[in-house]
């Protein structure tokens, strides 16, 4: 069995095996067990019944977290001319066209999100093998292939997250920091949970969302009551 630190074992002592926690209790507990010396990230893992090898069961989208992600998002923009100037004015960290493509082909991927104007995609397309596995490829489905670069940059900087289902049918994302109060974490989570419900693929079969776990970077994972979370998100949308 893997060995855990004394801090982790202390944090886990009140964890009840197989218990499903309410949304409120889950975020109260995950904050209390985030005891590392740095501001831990609060991570969510959603196990779905999707098999993304089928086109009608793929899931990819984005949503704006009402309280942001708590981290600085480094944004690059593939654009030229006036749109490049617009991107720079909006706060993009790096703006370029074919020169930016070449920089990334050379191994540079020191950024968290990428935006492109539609005309740039003929150049950006060759970066699929580099950006695709890192979930950094500009995509019209999540709004990152657009002429409205300033708006998208602002949203990304404010904490707009992108998500997609992985091969095993799991969605991993971060919804804030341990320094957030439990109410803000809950509201961020419900915004994300509501978004993936609305984006349910047409080919989804059986149980769409099987389980949800929430954890801090160094803390134990708590199983969240999916039915209660669904009711909470629907209540907030009423």
Q: Per the domain annotation, does 6 fall within a domain? A: no
Q: Per the domain annotation, does 9 fall within a domain? A: no
Q: Per the domain annotation, does 4 fall within a domain? A: no
Show which of 158, 189, 213 is a domain's final residue: 158
Same domain for 63 and 166? yes
Same domain for 147 and 165? no
Query: Residue 136's domain spans which residues?
Result: 75-158
Please report the DSSP string for 82-139 in residue order. HHHHHHHHTT-SEEESHHHHHHHHTT----SEEEE-GGGHHHHGGGHHHHGGGT-S--
Residue 30: alpha-carbon gap to chain centroid: 18
Show which of 112, 140, 158 is a domain's final residue: 158
Give me the pLDDT at residue 123, please. Answer: 97
Show which of 113, 129, 158 is a domain's final residue: 158
Q: Which two tokens stand for residue 222?
A: 């708590």
Same domain for 217 and 169? yes
Same domain for 60 and 177? yes
Q: Which two tokens stand for residue 218?
A: 């160094």
CATH of the domain at 170: 3.30.190.20
CATH of the domain at 101: 3.40.50.790
Give me the pLDDT at residue 207, please. Answer: 94
Q: Where are the alpha helices (H) located in the chain, listed in sequence order?
A: 6-12, 23-32, 81-89, 98-105, 121-124, 128-131, 149-158, 182-198, 226-236
Residue from 180, 159, 177 nearest 41 by CA:
177
Q: Per the domain annotation, does 142 fall within a domain? A: yes
Model pTM score: 0.78
Same domain for 92 and 121? yes
Same domain for 94 and 151? yes
Q: State how many domains the chain has.
A: 2
Run means of pLDDT, 10 residues per run, the chain, 238 residues: 52 61 94 94 97 94 91 95 98 97 96 97 96 92 94 92 91 95 95 94 94 95 93 74
Give me the pLDDT at residue 6, please. Answer: 57
216 near 30, Cβ under 8 Å?
A: yes
């Amino acid at each position: 069995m893997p060995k855990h630190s004394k801090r982790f074992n202390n944090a886990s002592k009140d964890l009840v095996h197989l218990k499903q926690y309410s949304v409120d209790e889950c975020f109260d507990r995950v904050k209390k067990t985030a005891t590392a010396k740095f501001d831990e990230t609060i991570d969510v893992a959603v196990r779905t019944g999707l098999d993304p090898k089928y086109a009608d069961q793929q899931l990819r989208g984005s949503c704006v977290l009402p309280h942001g992600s708590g981290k600085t998002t480094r944004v690059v923009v593939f654009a030229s001319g006036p749109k490049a100037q617009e991107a720079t004015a909006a706060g993009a960290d790096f703006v370029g066209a074919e020169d930016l493509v070449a920089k990334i082909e050379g191994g540079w991927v020191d950024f968290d999100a990428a935006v492109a104007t539609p005309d740039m995609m003929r150049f950006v397309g060759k970066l699929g093998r580099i950006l695709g596995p890192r979930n950094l490829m500009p995509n019209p489905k999540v709004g990152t292939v657009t002429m409205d670069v300033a708006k998208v940059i602002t949203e990304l900087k404010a904490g707009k997250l992108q998500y997609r289902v992985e091969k095993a049918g799991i969605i991993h994302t971060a919804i804030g920091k341990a320094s957030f109060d439990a109410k803000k974490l809950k509201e961020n989570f419900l915004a994300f949970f509501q978004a993936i419900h609305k984006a349910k693929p047409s080919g989804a079969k059986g149980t769409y969302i099987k389980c949800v776990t929430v954890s801090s970077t160094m803390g134990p994972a708590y199983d969240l009551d999916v039915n209660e979370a669904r009711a909470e998100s629907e209540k907030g949308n009423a």
